[in-house]
């Protein structure tokens, strides 16, 4: 068992940027306590995290059936973080060979070439949303998070799945509450919403990914169980929305707060692609991801753990590991492309990376091109309340050409 250090307490208002160095200082693994007293380990150092992700499923598994304390009744299965993955059959919570089978079934929808076909549609949604932002910005302060960074990935992933426009606000609300890890029952509501959507698609098939998955599921060899179908639709929604929204919001904020770095992009001294890598590293939106379990007695970063221990993947702490990144807590778009882990590593590395990159590569340059004279407005926002996801609670900006409206401007 690892030597005893005081655990890191994860409270609803945590700042992941402040938490990352604290977790790192605890060594390659840190003991953490969730609200409700649930104890876990977090893998915090870059090398230790990468090594652990490389040795699934021999040393580490995603299947919560391995969680000793849960099996022994020491943990409430209704705890929001536990309910989020316990008994869930998405590819993220399964191990090979099931993981490989399911990932292969949907992989073709996410190839770089396939995703490039979405380029015109993503560009059109970006342009449409920025039109609305410009119009609103002539009269009031705009929250770029709510009015741009949220609706963009929601629309893109919804259209990819085939979720109609009128259901997108509800899907957004349920996904955010589920991912915060703070709302009991949220995941059940989200499942009920997805079940109803699947049921509808059975009678009204379309080109979307849900209908394609139903077709696979209903084919003779039925390689996708009904539960796998539901749980993977849920994964696409939760994995595909808040992550991307977080990077867009944090990225715009970072560049507005570091005008010298933005100038390097504007003057062509640094490419957008390089700046996006640094945003992904510095403000990892998937900050602290549940969850893996030790499949047997195993060492993590040289520290022995028994079988059945739960582990959080501390991607943000690892992406600010000073042994890998010089001046790791500084935002520096001129740094050499660095081997960050923002999209994970190993067999569960992000399936949606090509789609996420497409959205970031279109959205971030477009925001700065269209809203050239924007400024941050008001007090710096605190972090959004989430135990796992990292992004600011808001991103209020004023378009400078309207700054003369000054204090009379209605706030967003």
Alpha-helix runs per DSSP H in 68-167: 68-71, 80-85, 98-107, 112-116, 119-137, 144, 151-161
Site string for ligand HEM, 72-111 (x = CB under 6 A): -------------------xx----------x--------
Contact 156, 117 (CB under 8 A): no
Q: Is 348 in the site for ligand HEM (CB under 6 A)?
A: yes
Q: Is 41 in the site for ligand HEM (CB under 6 A)?
A: no
Q: Is 17 in the site for ligand HEM (CB under 6 A)?
A: no
Give the E-state strand segments of 3-97 in sequence order.
Answer: 8-9, 29-33, 39-43, 60-61
Q: Is 351 in the site for ligand HEM (CB under 6 A)?
A: yes
The minimum distance between CB 131 and ligand HEM, in angstroms, equals 23
Does the bond joining 107 to the residue before it have cis omega, within 30 degrees of 0?
Answer: no
Site string for ligand HEM, 136-175 (x = CB under 6 A): ---------------------x------------------
Q: Is 12 exposed, middle or buried (0-12, 13-18, 19+ CB in 10 A)?
A: exposed
Q: Is 235 in the site for ligand HEM (CB under 6 A)?
A: yes
Instruction: Give the separation between CA 341 and CA 289, rounded to whole angstroms.
Output: 12
Query: Quick one: 351 or 398, whose CB is closer to ligand HEM?
Result: 351
Q: Is 63 in the site for ligand HEM (CB under 6 A)?
A: no
Q: Of 187-195, 252-260, 340-348, 382-390, which segment contacts ligand HEM by CB under 6 A?
A: 340-348
Instruction: Give the separation between CA 45 and CA 20, rounded to whole angstroms.
Output: 10
Q: Is 340 in the site for ligand HEM (CB under 6 A)?
A: no
Q: Is 243 in the site for ligand HEM (CB under 6 A)?
A: yes
- Total chain residues near ligand HEM (CB under 6 A): 25
Two structure tokens written together for 188? 């059940």
Site string for ligand HEM, 256-295 (x = CB under 6 A): -----------------------------xx--x------
CA nearest 229: which of 266, 191, 265, 258? 191
The minimum distance between CB 259 and ligand HEM, in angstroms, equals 24
Instruction: Give the separation between CA 55 and CA 48, rounded to whole angstroms.
Output: 11
Taking each helix axis as running N to C, give the angle between helix 272-282 and helix 353-370, from 0 to 180 degrees, rounded to the nearest 10: 110
Backbone angles phi, psi at 96, to 5 degrees: -60, 145
Query: Quick one: 17 or 342, whose CB is closer to ligand HEM?
Result: 342
Binding site for ligand HEM (CB under 6 A): 91-92, 103, 157, 235-236, 239-240, 243-244, 247, 285-286, 289, 313, 315, 342-344, 348, 350-352, 355-356
């Amino acid at each position: 068992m690892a030597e005893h250090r005081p655990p890191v307490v994860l409270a609803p208002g945590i700042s992941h940027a402040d938490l990352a160095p604290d977790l790192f200082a605890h060594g390659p693994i840190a003991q953490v306590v969730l609200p409700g007293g649930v104890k876990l380990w977090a893998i915090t150092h870059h090398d230790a995290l990468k090594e652990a992700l490389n040795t699934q499923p021999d040393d580490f598994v995603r299947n919560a059936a391995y969680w000793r304390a849960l099996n022994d009744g020491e943990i409430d299965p209704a705890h929001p973080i536990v309910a989020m993955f316990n008994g869930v059959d998405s590819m993220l919570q399964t191990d090979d060979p099931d993981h490989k089978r399911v990932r292969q079934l949907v992989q073709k929808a996410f190839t770089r070439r396939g995703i490039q076909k979405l380029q015109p549609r993503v560009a059109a949604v970006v342009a449409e949303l920025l039109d609305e932002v410009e119009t609103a910005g002539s009269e009031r302060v705009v929250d770029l998070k709510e009015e741009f960074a949220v609706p963009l990935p929601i629309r893109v992933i919804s259209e990819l799945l085939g979720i109609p426009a009128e259901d997108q606000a509800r899907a957004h609300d349920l996904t955010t509450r589920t991912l915060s890890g703070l709302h009991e029952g949220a995941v059940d509501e989200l499942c009920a919403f997805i079940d109803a959507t699947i049921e509808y698609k059975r009678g009204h098939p379309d080109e979307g990914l849900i209908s394609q998955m139903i077709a696979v599921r209903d084919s003779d060899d039925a390689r996708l169980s009904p539960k796998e179908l539901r749980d993977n639709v849920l994964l696409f929604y939760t994995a595909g929305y808040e992550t991307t929204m977080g990077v867009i919001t944090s990225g715009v904020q970072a560049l507005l707060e570091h005008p010298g770095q933005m100038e390097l992009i504007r003057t062509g001294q640094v490419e957008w692609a390089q700046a996006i890598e640094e945003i992904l590293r510095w403000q990892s939106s998937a900050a602290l991801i549940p969850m893996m379990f030790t499949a047997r007695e195993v060492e993590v970063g040289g520290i022995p753990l028994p079988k059945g221990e739960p582990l959080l993947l501390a991607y943000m702490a690892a992406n600010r590991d000073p042994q890998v990144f010089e001046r790791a807590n500084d935002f520096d778009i001129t740094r050499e492309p660095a081997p960050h882990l923002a999209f994970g590593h190993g067999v569960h590395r992000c399936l949606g990376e090509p789609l996420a990159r497409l959205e970031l590569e279109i959205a971030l340059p477009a925001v700065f091109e269209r809203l050239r004279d924007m400024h941050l407005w008001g007090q710096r926002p605190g972090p959004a309340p989430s135990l796992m996801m990292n992004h600011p609670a808001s991103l209020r900006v004023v378009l400078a050409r309207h700054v003369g409206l000054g204090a009379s401007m209605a706030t967003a």
